[in-house]
A and B are shown apart, each in its own frame.
Chain A
Amino acid sequence: MTLLSTRGLSRQFAGLHAVQDVDFDLPAGQIRALIGPNGAGKTTFVSMLCGRIAPSAGEVIFDGQNVTGLPAHKRISLGMAYTFQVTSIFANLDVAENVALAARRHLRGAARVRGAVDRALEQVGLADRRDQPAGDLAYGHQRLLEIAMGLVQAPRLLILDEPTQGLSEGEIEDFVDLIKGLSGETTILLIEHNMRVVMASADHVSVLNFGEILAEGTPDEIRANPQVQAAYLGSPDA
């Protein structure tokens, strides 16, 4: 079953085609990585998926429903979750409250929210920091908090925009384990620069270049694709 698809999705900024005519299909349960050189239009593309940016043309279909005209908060309540590329948390609120805000959208009752918050913090390893102000966390921990805020929503589609940026080696390994653990229950769209993460966690990879889909396939197929190598200036594991 296809959870998310786009048809002819395009976006121009002042005449420049940031994303052009993208047809994209994401089956339910899959972990999909979206890669591409800087400026390829990855963030613009996912921003259109979750409604932060309106497309110039084309449509977004989520779970059989055309959501192109829906505002962001309605798409989120249909089961999308989005974590920001640049860390975006409630710095003055404590860690648990950050996650609780994400949980309350679909959970009622203080006890259930608390349970979900504890589980999500446990999953990313921030359980012992639940009462700290989020702004006091180290950068890597703030990234993990973002991920916890995504997880706690129990989304049907989790969009992670460069989640491992700024994480240490050890944290990256934990992150890969975390993602793999979600395999099967949640559909994940992962924008990622770190090829090791992509190779280790993704079922399937889409490559975006100059706003168009350049190639799609399994991680191994993509690694072997000469066009992709050319797009990355000949360095397959950049």
Chain B
Amino acid sequence: MTAVRKSLLLHGGLLIVLFGLQFVLPAYHHGNLARIMVLASYAIGYNVLFGYTGLLSLGHAMFFAAGMYGMGLGIRFLEMSPALALLAGLAAGLILALVVGYLALRTVGVAFMIVTLMFAQALFLTILYFGKWTRGDEGFVIQQPERVLWGIDLSDPVNRYFAALLLFAVCLLVSLWLIQRPVGRVLIAIRENQERARMLGYDIFAHKLAAVMISGGISALAGAVYGLLFGYVGATFASVQYSIFPLLWVLLGGAGTVLGPFVGTLFMFYLIDLSSALTTAHMLIAGVVLVAVTLFAQQGIVGELRRRFWRWLP
């Protein structure tokens, strides 16, 4: 069996299992999984930049939040339809990614991390500053009638699950497709050896900018869908914590693997969920996992599987 066929089988199989779980999961886990699939889509967006292009951003919450607020403010003040609002969220993320990418990509390494962190912090503070419209920390609720897309009520758990699965499937397949395409291979080449890629005639800046926009776009779409499905838009989603989360999920699941973002999000979600029975300080778990992964599992879960058993994993 060729690597391509194996990978289609694996990823297709995952999507079919997720589709089937809908009918058997108890309500609590059913709701969790819908949330995980949306957050995993955010992680997939992050992985395009961090895992495949090798650029570590500490400010991805700004794209997630741009999508969420683009969608939420569109519904709240411009009375957009949900579909239009999702597009508005995506557009907000893409524009932000273009501007931030254009500026931040002049820096490398640690400076890039700090610049993205600062831009994200500026957006977070801006959301607080314009509290009159954004309702700041408190956020605002998107009412049930405003969440009916093409006659489908997205506040209904079953519809919500399918919407989340659809988003996740699209993001997963896009990322799988992207890294098989020549442009995706160039991103990997930039991660592996930027100077070599440049001397093969590739425009590094243009490719990195494209990666920031694809990554920011997917993250923004995930943010917009999250707001729409769960009916809430708040400044927390723009905070530093929400920039650290996708890093954590991708590191744990395996940076530069297609499945890693999902596996990492799933693990982390349930780790925190289970620990919340023991303590309210759930970010402690996040901290311990971050340190442990850096120390002991550089490749993450899927990365280790690839290294040890299945070299063909994309």
Contacts and interface: CB of A to CB of B under 8 A. Distances in A.
Do chains A and B directly touch (beta carbons under 8 Å) in the complex? yes
Contact of B199 (A72, A97, A104, A106): A72
Nearest to B195: A88
A43 to B, nearest CB: 13
A76 interface: yes
Interface string A89-114: 11111000100111011100000000
A96 to B, nearest CB: 12
B16 interface: no
A50 interface: yes
Contact of A73 (B185, B188, B189, B201): B201
Nearest to B206: A73
B185 A105 contact: no
B189 A76 contact: no
A17 B189 CA distance: 34
Contacts of B201: 72-73, 76-77, 105-106, 153
A73 B202 contact: yes
B203 A90 contact: no
A106 B189 CA distance: 16
Contacts of A84: 196, 199
Given A73-B204, A88-B193, A93-B192, A104 B198 contact: no
A175 interface: no
B182 interface: yes
**Chain B interface main SS type:** helix
B286 to A, nearest CB: 29
A152 B202 CA distance: 15
Interface residues of B, number: 17
A149 interface: yes
B200 A93 contact: no
Given A84-B196, A88-B195, A105 B189 contact: no
Given A101-B185, A104-B185, A90 B196 contact: yes
B287 to A, nearest CB: 30
Given A90-B189, A93-B189, A101 B200 contact: yes
Nearest to A82: B199
Q: Give the interface size bracket for A toward B.
A: 20 to 34
A100 B185 contact: yes
Given A73-B203, A76-B201, A89 B185 contact: no
Contacts of A72: 198-199, 201
A66 to B, nearest CB: 19
Contact of B193 (A82, A89, A102, A104): A89
Contacts of B196: 84, 88-90
A52 interface: yes
Contacts of A97: 185
Contacts of B199: 50, 52, 72, 76, 82, 84, 88
Nearest to B180: A110
A101 B198 contact: no
Nearest to A76: B201
A80 B2 CA distance: 36
Contacts of B197: 101
Contacts of A52: 199
B197 to A, nearest CB: 7
A52 B185 CA distance: 23
